[in-house]
């Protein structure tokens, strides 16, 4: 099967890009009446070049400085570039700007066409070639073939086709753009084979209690593919009898007729739409894939609602955002440093949106340097980890720089916030596990879906399961069991922070109430100044109990290392209370009966009872009924022996068995149910 790639042209106005594309493909990309009348390219045009082993979808872009925004929309998703320079004009301003844009968009392959070669002599041709080599030094086109051509005479057209075929043959299928090789970075870690489950299977597993990789609800699970479909829209029109058609370059994945896609409208909303039909360069297709130009006929979508900058994608993967954390690069061509709070015009995908820059770790960014920054956008955009963008000045006259997205859905980060910046730097790491862990840290306790790791950490869909499993196995991700068998994955670092806050809150309560052995969970959690899921806080408390850092039950908790502090008089009173309960057996006195004996310790009476329980002398049945430990043990023995026959017993029979009154029998039976010794079966109690 031939390989499909996207070829984009670049170069100054009137250097012959459109004429060259027509000579190569036979297609005139100037389709607008205004373009015909003025003799210049205004908007992007499209053609198709079949080179046998390679099929190129060609995007022809305008060269005029006023239409750089259109050039940027057309450059989205290109695999290789054709830089066009007229031999009779040599290097011009948009030659330099377009080359800079291609570098910022991280294009890695291409060729150079020296057009209008029939209009100059050999000496001029040689001089222009030398000027070009000087311009291209250090760029991805440094060693690219420079082919003299003439669209008028046909000079060099076949040689250019051969050069494009050679470059295409050596081009490795692009992967999601990852971190560049930086000093101190290690080699990319190899990923284990991931289980290739269907989306429905992954979601189903995430909702079961034995799931090895639970995720927050809200998106499909990972799919057994290395790519997911994504197409930034660059054009829309109506075809009579068919309705709305949108076009764009498929930047990842594939789509088939009948598939359902998510249409991101550029205003923060989205809608599911069905693909009614597909077309690739004028021919109907059952499916289109990465590297192809595609036209999609969408069912039920009004034409006037579609515009350039919107996007189509597999449902659940993209999420619009007004804040992007980025790695921002200032072009070496800019005259002045980029400043904090600078207004920029950001081009990402086929979108163009105004933004304000927040430099996170510096005040100015010098030409040729990069820094971590946040872009606060006037309108939401859809982006993914590692996606390149270009930044131009607010008046759209100059390209100032660009960079790559580090967080496609970011919250505001405080400038020079060391901890946050450290985790942002982890997002720009070669290792996908490290990036996934950083995503989990920023997600906090809201949880994250499998698709979040695809979008925000650059993890391939079929690798999500393996990445999550490794992080859980290593203890870097913690699985928390919430109510209704729901589970949540959270960063172990975040969980440790919350655990420390719970322990600190209890330490403060113990200091304020030195006699109180345990505290109501709600009072403890209210001290955390935490606005979030109460089930999550309860789950973390249970985790601390299992780790023996807390003690308690479903209602009350305490630090395991806390011991109540009684005065000499309080301890004497506690001993009297215990003696009275031992003597009373199954008809114990109420706490208020000791008020006269307590004297000045009357206010601490409830706490003294709790200390006696904590020390194992008493057992609390209700807030007003306590049994001695001996009586509680004897009660368990008698009831167990009585119910072993299997016939069960009523409350009255248990009352008689213990030789007490109904005042105590009912609470005692409820207590035995609560501790799991018995269970109710109609009017009877039976062993559980």
Which residues span the domain enclosing 146?
A: 3-170
pLDDT for res 397: 86
Confidence of residue 215 (pLDDT cuts 50, 70, 90): very low
- Same-domain status, 27 and 158: yes
Tell me the pLDDT tens digit for each residue of 613-622. Answer: 877 889 999 9
What number is the average pLDDT over the span 382-397?
Answer: 93
User: Has residue 417 been placed in a domain?
Assistant: no
- The CB density around residue 181, as the number of other CB atoms within 10 Å, is 8
pLDDT for res 24: 94
Domain boundary among 500, 532, 559: 559
pLDDT for res 552: 86
Burial status of residue 250 (CB atoms within 10 A of its CB: 0-12, 13-18, 19 or more): buried
Residue 338 pLDDT greater than 70, yes or no: yes
- Same-domain status, 512 and 634: no
> Hey, CA dihedral for 441, 442, 446, 449, is it positive or negative?
negative
- The Cα–Cα gap between 433 and 441 comes to 12
pLDDT for res 81: 94
End-to-end Cα distance, the chain: 68
pLDDT for res 33: 61
- The CB density around residue 262, as the number of other CB atoms within 10 Å, is 19
- Same-domain status, 122 and 159: yes
pTM of the prediction? 0.76
User: Has residue 426 been placed in a domain?
Assistant: no
Q: What is the largest CA-CA distance in the chain?
A: 121
- The Cα–Cα gap between 442 and 448 comes to 10
pLDDT for res 524: 87
**Residue 592 belongs to domain with CATH number:** 1.10.10.10
**Residue 260 belongs to domain with CATH number:** 2.40.30.10
Tell me the pLDDT tens digit for each residue of 657-672. Answer: 999 999 999 999 999 9
User: Has residue 447 been placed in a domain?
Assistant: no
What number is the average pLDDT over the span 396-403?
Answer: 91
Residues of the chain with pLDDT > 70, as a percent, come to 88
User: What total of structural domains would you count in the chain?
Assistant: 4
User: Has residue 390 been placed in a domain?
Assistant: no
227 phi and psi, to 5 degrees?
-135, 155
**Helix or strand holding residue 326 (H, E):** strand 321-330
What number is the average pLDDT over the span 458-481?
Answer: 91
User: Has residue 480 been placed in a domain?
Assistant: no
- The Cα–Cα gap between 470 and 562 comes to 37
Confidence of residue 240 (pLDDT cuts 50, 70, 90): confident
The residue whose two tokens read 């669209």 is 151
User: Has residue 11 been placed in a domain?
Assistant: yes
Residues of the chain with pLDDT > 90, as a percent, come to 63
CA-wise closest residue to 570 among 601, 616, 603: 601
CA-wise closest residue to 245 among 232, 233, 257, 258: 233
Query: What's the chain's average pLDDT?
Result: 85
Say which residue, 640 or 516, is predicted with more confidence: 640
Domain boundary among 121, 150, 170: 170
Residue 197 pLDDT greater than 60, yes or no: no
- Same-domain status, 17 and 151: yes
Confidence of residue 40 (pLDDT cuts 50, 70, 90): low
User: Has residue 373 been placed in a domain?
Assistant: no
CA-wise closest residue to 312 among 262, 275, 277, 272: 262
**Residue 162 belongs to domain with CATH number:** 3.40.50.300
Say which residue, 187 or 290, is predicted with more confidence: 290
Tell me the pLDDT tens digit for each residue of 290-322. Answer: 999 999 999 999 999 999 999 999 999 999 999
Confidence of residue 688 (pLDDT cuts 50, 70, 90): confident
């Amino acid at each position: 099967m031939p390989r499909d790639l996207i070829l984009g042209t670049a170069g100054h106005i009137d250097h012959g890009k459109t004429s060259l594309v027509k000579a190569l493909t036979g297609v005139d990309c100037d389709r607008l009446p205004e373009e015909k009348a003025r003799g210049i390219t205004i908007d992007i045009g499209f053609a198709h070049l079949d080179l046998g082993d390679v099929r190129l979808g060609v995007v022809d872009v305008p060269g005029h400085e006023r239409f750089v925004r259109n050039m940027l929309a057309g450059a989205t998703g290109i695999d290789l570039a054709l830089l066009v320079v007229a031999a009779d004009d040599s290097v011009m301003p948009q030659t330099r700007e377009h080359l800079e844009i291609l570098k910022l968009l991280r294009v890695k392959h291409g060729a150079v066409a020296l057009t209008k070669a029939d209009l100059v002599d050999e000496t001029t041709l040689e001089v222009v070639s030398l000027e070009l080599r000087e311009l291209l030094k250090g760029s991805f086109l440094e060693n690219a073939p420079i082919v003299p051509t003439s669209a008028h005479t046909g000079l060099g057209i076949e040689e250019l086709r051969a050069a494009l075929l050679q470059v295409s043959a050596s081009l490795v299928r692009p992967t999601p753009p990852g971190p560049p090789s930086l000093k101190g970075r290690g080699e990319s870690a190899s990923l284990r084979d991931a289980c290739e489950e269907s989306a429905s299977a992954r979601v189903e597993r995430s909702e079961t209690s034995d799931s090895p990789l639970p995720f927050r609800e809200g998106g499909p699970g990972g799919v057994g593919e290395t790519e997911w479909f994504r197409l930034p829209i660059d054009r829309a029109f109506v075809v009579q009898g068919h309705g709305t058609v949108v076009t764009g370059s498929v930047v990842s994945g594939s789509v088939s007729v009948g598939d359902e896609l998510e249409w991101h409208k550029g205003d923060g909303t989205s809608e599911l739409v069905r693909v009614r039909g597909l077309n690739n360069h004028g021919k109907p297709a059952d499916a289109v894939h990465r590297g192809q130009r595609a036209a999609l006929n969408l069912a039920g979508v009004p034409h006037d609602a579609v515009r350039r900058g919107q996007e189509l994608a597999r449902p659940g993967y993209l999420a619009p955002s007004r804040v992007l954390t980025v790695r921002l690069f200032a072009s070496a061509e800019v005259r002045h440093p980029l400043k904090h709070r600078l207004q920029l015009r950001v081009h990402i995908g086929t979108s163009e949106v105004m933004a304000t820059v927040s430099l996170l770790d510096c005040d100015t960014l010098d030409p040729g340097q990069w820094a971590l920054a946040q872009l606060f956008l006037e309108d939401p955009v859809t982006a993914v980890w590692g996606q390149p963008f270009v930044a131009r000045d607010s008046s759209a006259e100059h390209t100032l720089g660009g960079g790559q997205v580090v967080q496609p859905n970011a919250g505001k980060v405080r400038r020079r916030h060391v901890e946050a910046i450290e985790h942002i730097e982890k997002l720009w790491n070669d290792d996908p596990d490290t990036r996934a862990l950083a995503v989990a840290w920023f997600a906090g306790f809201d949880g994250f879906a499998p698709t979040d790791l695809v979008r925000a950490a650059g993890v391939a869909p079929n690798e999500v399961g393996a990445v999550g499993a490794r992080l859980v196995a290593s203890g870097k991700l913690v699985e928390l069991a919430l109510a209704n068998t729901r589970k949540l994955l959270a960063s172990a670092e975040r969980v440790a922070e919350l655990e420390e806050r719970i322990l600190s809150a209890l330490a403060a309560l113990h200091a304020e109430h030195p006699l109180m052995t345990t505290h109501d969970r709600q009072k403890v959690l209210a001290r955390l100044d935490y606005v979030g899921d109460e089930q999550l806080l309860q789950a973390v408390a249970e985790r601390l109990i299992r780790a023996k850092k807390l003690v308690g039950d479903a209602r009350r908790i305490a630090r395991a290392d806390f011991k109540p502090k009684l005065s000499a008089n309080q301890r004497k009173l506690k001993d009297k209370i215990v003696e009275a309960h031992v003597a009373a057996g199954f008809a114990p006195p109420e706490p208020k009966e000791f008020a006269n004996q307590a004297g000045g310790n009357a206010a601490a009476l409830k706490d003294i009872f709790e200390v006696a329980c904590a020390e194992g002398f008493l057992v609390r049945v209700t807030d007003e009924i306590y049994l001695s430990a001996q009586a509680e043990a004897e009660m368990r023995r008698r009831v167990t022996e009585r119910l072993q026959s299997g016939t069960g017993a009523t409350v009255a029979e248990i009352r008689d068995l213990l030789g007490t009154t109904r005042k105590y029998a009912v609470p005692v039976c409820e207590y035995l149910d609560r501790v799991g010794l018995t269970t109710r079966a109609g009017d009877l109690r039976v062993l559980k």
